[in-house]
Structure 1
Amino acid sequence: MSTRDRHGSRPLAGESEKAVNLAGTSVPQQHLIHTDDLDIFRTAVASFLTDHRVGLVEPSVIDASFSAVSVNKLTLLRIEYGAAVRIEADAPERPFYILQLPLRGSALVVSGREKALSTPELASLPDPRRGITMKMAPDCVQIALRVEADHLQRHLQSLIGRPVLEPIIFDLGMDLRTSRSRSWRASLDLLLAETQRSGGLLEHPLVAAQIESLVLTGLLLAHRHNYSAALQAEQVPGAPRPVRQVLERIEAYPERPFTIEELATDAGVTVRALQKGFHDLLGCSPMAYLREIRLNRAREALINADPGSGASVTDIALTWGFMHLGRFSVEYRRRFGESPSQTLRR
């Protein structure tokens, strides 16, 4: 037993890497624990996340601390084991996204076939439909942001103005050094700081809702996912109508053998004008955008394919408009970090 009370709360030390002390806040719904019992700690963390298995990488004594606070539909957690641990969790029954940001130390995160070494410069956001394995360094301290998958989906729908029919698939690693991710981190720091402020504006429902919206919108804009291009199109004011028409057509029928000439003719503009409109709006060509949509649809088909149905990589690639299978495999691996056959075999 630690010399401190096993369930007693204590101030969690702040970090020089912009850590925020959740333990000091008087915001309601806060939960704290500090213990040297790994089973007690696992149960506390599981009550906010999902059931999981955790074990020490090597024999040692843990000095674990955990805090959590809820703001509307978001939950903020701070987790420290004080020892090197390995964590394994199956996909939760009700999917949720959890973005994990080390304040110090590192964590090796494996989600499906993807792998990322998360550090203070690289957050991780695993696919909620996959199991996850993590190996946390002994000095690792993480802030985690949890949001239900259906809540984030509804938020995205409100931004793009149309139904989100497929799950949101983020890249596993989020580079926190980009301009957009730094801006998003600032919104997260604001939320964390406000959870410490007794009697602050965060206790007003309207302010809490606005800050929550800022954090979710910023995450969707700052971190790459399969709706990034569609979201970017909606966020640019005054987008030319021909570009929007082509975007809608591509997203509705990505399997069709479109040519740039056909898309330009249907939109009533020249090929050059359409290409310029796409580059100005999305930073890519119409055909590159089409290829991205097709890759995402092919990945969904590979993930959801029944191994006993006889589905093949070739059939799925052809269904989504990839006529050159070798090129499809190269582009797929570059985008998702694994081969199409590896996805299909899962």
Structure 2
Amino acid sequence: MDYKKLNEIIVSMRRELHKIPEVGTELPQTKSYVMSKLKELGLKPKECKKDSGLVCDIGDRNSKNIVAIRADMDALPICEETRFDYASTNGNMHACGHDAHMACLIGAAHYLLENKNKLKGTVRLVFQTAEELAIGAKNLINDGLLDGVKAIVGTHVGTIATDVPNGEFVIQEGPLMASYDKIIIKIVGKGSHGAYPHSGVDPVLTASQVVQGIYNIKSREIIATDPIVISICMINGGSQYNIIPSEVVLEGTFRTFSEENRKYIADRIKEISESIAYANRAKAEVEIIWGCPPVINDKNIVNQLNEVCKQLGFKKALPFAPSMGGEDFSEYLQNIPGVFIFFSTPTKKNIPHHNSKFEINESKLYQASVLMSEWAIKYLGENK
């Protein structure tokens, strides 16, 4: 297939999708657009019963030799400030590259259809909602739309791989992205006048000690060579400079690459919070909202992708330090071997994700479509 033409198709779709960003699980405009483009190719998408997600098969529909390629569809509640002529004006923004992910996956459909005679099975295109909320992958899995899939890959564009030049892939085995879970801690005390703290139970003082105690988990309870992040990012409480409130609420997150550490940190956050609160005559109510496990890439599929990348003449980046950011692609990897790829697409401005001025270099987007498609062809041929 003509790569230049394929890239033009992808860029055009990406810009059209960029104009209609939607957040969460219900993405009616986005879903309609994706389905129309797939149907134009003669394909028959299958809709998820739980949200706006969908899947679409290319190849032998009766084959039990199935691989999947995934894209996420949701945007962020950010007002765009890029000033592009295709900028969003609805108060949401594709500030994380999901518009490009969808366009590249539809681009893969174009490529796979032109190479359909090479397919020794089925390629399932997976379009999921709510990656930003860590819900979409679970919805598709629970709806049975990944049943029978033997392997899965996905690609993330943008600037996650810091300092990697445009058009280079990060393809590596083992940990790539961390687990991510949410902490909510309510410290309940007894309100009083700021001049008479002895007459109450100070939740502000208690909360400050809880934060310090939680941060000590990383530095004093887990081996220093294990990557761990624990961050309290919100502290809410109080209404007046001279009134000690009755309660304070802390919210934050913790990240790790180990399920053992993940459980340990959650348990210790609860123990430390409750103990410190008790020592201060207060009470701690701890809630852990489980997000997603870490993204751990499969060695054999990494080797296949490396071979394909080399054969295509695409560039691969040097080894990349795993990101402490999270991705619900990890939900697929709980039962299906797979690989999540970073594809670096920075512009000269090198603007980070989730920024109102986020932008990507569109010049080599076709490479993501071709790499994932050729991997699918290779996998199906080698694992009949």
Query: TM class, shorter-chain normalised?
Result: under 0.3
The higher relative CO (CA closer than 8 Å, separation ≥ 6) is in 2
TM-score normalized by the length of structure 1? 0.25
Q: Which has the higher strand share?
A: 2
Which is greater in Rg? 2
Q: Which has the higher helix share?
A: 1
TM-score normalized by the length of structure 2? 0.23
